[in-house]
Structure 1
Amino acid sequence: MSSPCAATCSTSLRLPPTILRFRRPGALASVRAARSAPAVSDDLVLRIAEQLEDSVAESSPLLDPLRSASALSLISTRWPTRRSNEAFRFTDISYLRSLPISLPSQALALALAAPSSPYPSCIHFSDGVLTSTSGVHVSALADLPPGPARDRAAAALAASAEFADKDLFYDFNAIGAKDVAVVHVPEGVSMADDPVHIMFSYSGSGDGSMVMSNPRVLVLAEKGAEVAIVEEHFEVGQEGGGCYWANPVMEIIVEENAKVVHSYVQRQSFEAAHTKWTVIQQSKSSKYEFVEVSIGARLNRHNLHIQQLGPETDTQLSAFHFLSQNKQIHDLHSKLILDHPRGLSNQLHKCIASSTGNAIFDGNIKVNRYAQQTDAGQETRCLLLSPKALVNVKPNLQIIADDVKCTHGAAISGEHDPNALYFFQARGIDIKTAADALNFAFGAHVINKIPFKPIEKNTLAQFKELLASSRQE
């Protein structure tokens, strides 16, 4: 199976101008005329691709192989529906078609001040535009000088063109990314104590359209390096009602004996759409720790793809989704591929759905033939706080190796353990207060895994506020 970073890509991959450059006069008509097969892209996909390509006319040539491959892919890609695409069987993304798509103004984005950060190394994207970078080992792709860091980034982006598991949203980002923020940690360097804070702020347009942004981040942790990443997606200036479409991609390469600690918080507007790809490649004896907390957005789809490419590889995943609004959809699709001996992985997914929220979890762990002595665990636990809330879970272990220790489990409940409630009541605490405390502890279990106190504290406070408001409805 191809990985996004395991292969190299020759510059001969560049496509004919009529395929790659959608915006050229008559190019789109020529592409349509050349298509004779019935399974082709629909007009909406091509229209968005044209808009995205027009917006990045002056991009880095290092992105050309990736753009070319995604342009070719989109020509034969249809818009996914619940009936036509198994990966979207439980996920209704029609909200993305409900409003006209527009693109952010780069001048306006650059004019906005970057939010303050408690950490010296930080990156800021405003509506998908990379506006600032600060700190050591952090740079925009366009600003990387010739040298090892630039060469590694170029090779990783070219190899990303070969990513076999990508979808429509990954390709949109590849075409629409104006620049790439690069975090390059050299061999043996540790940045574990002071994380790189990556802030994604979104504002929308206010004109009735859905502003689509495509920020992209590449993290390179060389042999023996350590780095912590704190990724935050939030709204600015709309007081919770901004309408926009965030479509980010983050790719992380963890080389031999390296360690990456990755915290990801999504707290966007309840009128926003958020479709995200996180792609991880782990080499021998590397470790990747991931904590996700998603509490915002009307439509939230996260594709998490991890491939272990060496023995003694350790992957730790924790995710918590909270749906507090009507018609809110949160979807986590994860795929973990183990190809080598003595791999270790643990995945915990938790969610709380209230009102008419719909939560989806599709977790796939594939233990291939040579991944002997693997220890892999997967657990999903969900709470339904409303009779109209819905949860679809699909934990999936595919085991081909015969010397493994693998477990998985799923639990969906509409109420807490009566013994736990009785414990509170026996101490004079009423049942509503007891249920609130248990609901908070259910989510805090994952939020407390965020290793950086300012981020953990703010996220806990926002979760507590949303939990209180959802219980009042």
Structure 2
Amino acid sequence: MSCCGSTSSPFLPLPLRLPRSHAQTLTLTPPRRVRPFSSSLSAAPSVSDPFVLEIAEKLEDSLSSSPIQSLPPLQTLRESSSRSLLSTPWPTRKSDPFRFTDISYLRKYPLVPTQTPAIPSSPIDSPFSNLLVIVDGVLAPSLSRLSALPDGVFVGSIGNAPAGALYDRIQSVLASGSEFEKDLFWDLNSVGALDVAVIYVPLRVRMLEPIHVQFGYSGGAGEGEEIMAMSNPRVLVVAEEGAEVALVEEHFGVDGGEEKCYWANPVMEIVVEDGAKVSHSYVQRQPIKAAHVKWTVARQKSSSTYNLVEVNTGAKLSRHNLHIQQLGPDTVTELSSFHLSSRNKQIHDLHSRLVLDHPRGYSRQLHKCIVCESEAHAIFDGNIKVNRFAQNTDAGQQAKCLLLAPQALVHVKPNLQIVADDVKCSHGAAISDLEDQQLFYFRARGVDLKTARDALIFSFGAEVVRQIPFKPIQEKVANEVKELFTSL
């Protein structure tokens, strides 16, 4: 469906559940009192949520007295979000951003913020020369490999950023933030971040090798021990005018974390200056007992390019909040994502928002998801807003979903809001099981039913996986997806 004009109404959400009888028929369809956590604020407002304040208080108590924690940028982040948390309730299904997403798993076990990272005993493998390792929210220099960086490029802790122009630049970016509606999880990260990893690429520097950012989580205790460890990694990426950099981001469990229950709450901010290019590959493959709630925010200036390829297969609960602002003309944004809910009651959620404010903006978004198990769930809420001065915009959005089991569920909400009157925009959604004629094509050539289904299902996600621009990561992700399919 295409939309073009002064105003367009967004699609209504499409809840789809496969009935138990036939997988191919689709139907559209007072807590305990806690003290206020911030010592700088004497009392919490009456609208405060005691559970939220309890989490924030635990995060504050977990902060160390290291010099990093006293740096002005971290203090600014913490103070701003502390004030916000005093009036932010815990999200419920009655609040619009979470009405399809059940986050009750985050409250199932007592929360214990991580304080000292468990450094893995064995090296972390990477096919690239530039490796940045973050374990439980803290940089691990002993596991990182950064000796091959070009001159002027800085990758490391904000505490090691050289004083002067670079440090001032980092501080101004963190302080400025973005004009968008942040949520509870952004603020919790700001309050609980133990460090900020900085990737800075100076004016007109083009990096030939990608920067591999690996996030390892050791977890707290096993699920039976009823403890949920929480970590808040934070990364800031700045690509100055004319610079080019590629990021490969991975999230996974380490040293027993594969069997433990934990909550990863990362934030990544990306600034793409005039004429700069950022290629971003994001892979989430955490264990089934983990929860993963992530914010990615990108700000693009004139003639810049941001490309994101996302593959999300892990965690019991995974939610990605993606917010992109085009802050100049002739800006290019390309987004591709593949979510696979392959285990019982697994939830994968992508909430994306792209705001175009200037002429000749270009964007493409492709979201694909597969729900393979009964009671598993996938959510896509994609919002593209074309404001008044974004004339000659070319924006496209497409969502495609496969439901392969009885009681599998997907909510799809493509949303295109147009105020400009000279644009070319389209959006749409398609949801189904495999088509009989597709299977017949294979069966007529002697291929058995299971092999035919496996081939079609894998090729559905491979359209996104193949867009990862680095063969070692692409092949690694493809093999992991195949293993998940064979275990069904």
TM-score, normalised to structure 1, is 0.90
> Hey, what does 2:75 align to over in structure 1?
64
2:227 to 186, 209, 212: 209
Q: In structure 1, how many angstroms separate the alpha carbons of the residues matched to 2:464 and 2:180?
A: 31
8 Å CA contact retained: 2:62, 2:114: no
AA aligned to 2:91 is P
> Hey, what does 1:407 align to over in structure 2?
426
SS at match of 1:279: strand
SS at match of 1:402: coil
Q: Report runs of 4+ in structure 1 exceeding 6 Å deviation.
A: none
Q: In structure 1, how many angstroms separate the alpha carbons of the residues matched to 2:462 and 2:357?
A: 33
Whether 1:92 aligns to 2:102 is yes
Percent of pairs with identical residues: 57
8 Å CA contact retained: 1:63, 1:158: no
8 Å CA contact retained: 1:109, 1:129: no
Whether 1:398 aligns to 2:398 is no
What's the offset of the Cα at 1:237? 2.7
Whether 1:109 aligns to 2:118 is yes
8 Å CA contact retained: 1:23, 1:54: no
Whether 1:374 aligns to 2:384 is no
> Hey, what does 2:137 align to over in structure 1?
128
Q: In structure 1, how many angstroms separate the alpha carbons of the residues matched to 2:220 and 2:450?
A: 41
Whether 1:246 aligns to 2:261 is no
AA aligned to 1:146 is A
**CA offset digits 1:294-315 (Å, max 9, x no partner):** 0000000100000000000000
> Hey, what does 2:183 align to over in structure 1?
167
Whether 1:445 aligns to 2:459 is no
8 Å CA contact retained: 2:329, 2:360: yes
Q: In structure 1, how many angstroms separate the alpha carbons of the residues matched to 2:274 and 2:53?
A: 40
AA aligned to 1:51 is K
Richer in helix (by share) = 1
Whether 1:306 aligns to 2:306 is no
**CA offset digits 1:239-285 (Å, max 9, x no partner):** 74321000000000000000000000000010110000000000000
> Hey, what does 2:283 align to over in structure 1?
265
**What is the root-mean-square deviation of aligned Cα atoms in Å?**
1.7
SS at match of 1:359: strand
**CA offset digits 1:35-79 (Å, max 9, x no partner):** 24xxx2211110111111122243022212211110000000000
Q: In structure 1, how many angstroms separate the alpha carbons of the residues matched to 2:431 and 2:367?
A: 12
8 Å CA contact retained: 1:378, 1:407: yes
Task: Specify whether residues 239 and 274 from structure 1 end up closer, same or farther in structure 2 by C-alpha distance, changes over 3 A only.
Answer: closer
Whether 1:363 aligns to 2:382 is yes
SS at match of 1:460: helix
Q: In structure 1, how many angstroms separate the alpha carbons of the residues matched to 2:419 and 2:123?
A: 49
Structure with the bigger RCO (C-alpha within 8 Å, sep 6+) is 2
8 Å CA contact retained: 1:304, 1:335: yes
What's the offset of the Cα at 1:22? 2.6
What's the offset of the Cα at 1:113? 5.2
Q: Which runs of 5+ in 2 are unaligned?
A: 1-34
Q: Which runs of 5+ in 1 are unaligned?
A: 1-19
Question: Would you say how many aligned residue pairs link Structure 1 and Structure 2?
Answer: 438
**CA offset digits 1:346-385 (Å, max 9, x no partner):** 0000000011210000000000010000000000000001
SS at match of 1:369: coil
Task: Specify whether residues 268 and 175 from structure 1 end up closer, same or farther in structure 2 by C-alpha distance, changes over 3 A only.
Answer: same
Task: Specify whether residues 382 and 111 from structure 1 end up closer, same or farther in structure 2 by C-alpha distance, changes over 3 A only.
Answer: closer
Q: In structure 2, how many angstroms separate the alpha carbons of the residues matched to 1:129 and 1:177?
A: 9
What's the offset of the Cα at 1:104? 1.6
Task: Specify whether residues 232 and 57 from structure 1 end up closer, same or farther in structure 2 by C-alpha distance, changes over 3 A only.
Answer: same
> Hey, what does 1:13 align to over in structure 2?
none
What's the offset of the Cα at 1:142? 0.5
What's the offset of the Cα at 1:21? 8.8
> Hey, what does 2:91 align to over in structure 1?
80
AA aligned to 2:58 is Q
Greater Cα shift, 359-368 or 61-70:
61-70
Q: In structure 2, how many angstroms separate the alpha carbons of the residues matched to 1:177 and 1:252?
A: 17
8 Å CA contact retained: 1:114, 1:124: no
Q: In structure 2, how many angstroms separate the alpha carbons of the residues matched to 1:261 and 1:320?
A: 17
> Hey, what does 2:9 align to over in structure 1?
none
> Hey, what does 2:160 align to over in structure 1?
143
> Hey, what does 1:31 align to over in structure 2?
43
Whether 1:119 aligns to 2:131 is no
Task: Specify whether residues 113 and 214 from structure 1 end up closer, same or farther in structure 2 by C-alpha distance, changes over 3 A only.
Answer: farther
Alignment of 1:185-224 (within 5 A): 185-191=201-207, 193-206=208-221, 207-224=225-242
TM-score, normalised to structure 2, is 0.87
Task: Specify whether residues 422 and 79 from structure 1 end up closer, same or farther in structure 2 by C-alpha distance, changes over 3 A only.
Answer: same
SS at match of 1:434: helix
SS at match of 2:185: helix
SS at match of 2:415: strand
AA aligned to 2:441 is F
Q: In structure 2, how many angstroms separate the alpha carbons of the residues matched to 1:224 and 1:271?
A: 42
> Hey, what does 2:350 align to over in structure 1?
332
> Hey, what does 1:383 align to over in structure 2?
402
What's the offset of the Cα at 1:134? 3.7
Q: In structure 2, how many angstroms separate the alpha carbons of the residues matched to 1:180 and 1:112?
A: 23
What's the offset of the Cα at 1:232? 0.1
**CA offset digits 1:178-223 (Å, max 9, x no partner):** 11111100111011x3111000011211243100000000000000
> Hey, what does 1:232 align to over in structure 2?
250
**CA offset digits 1:68-116 (Å, max 9, x no partner):** 1100000000000001x1000000101101100002241x434755512
AA aligned to 1:332 is L
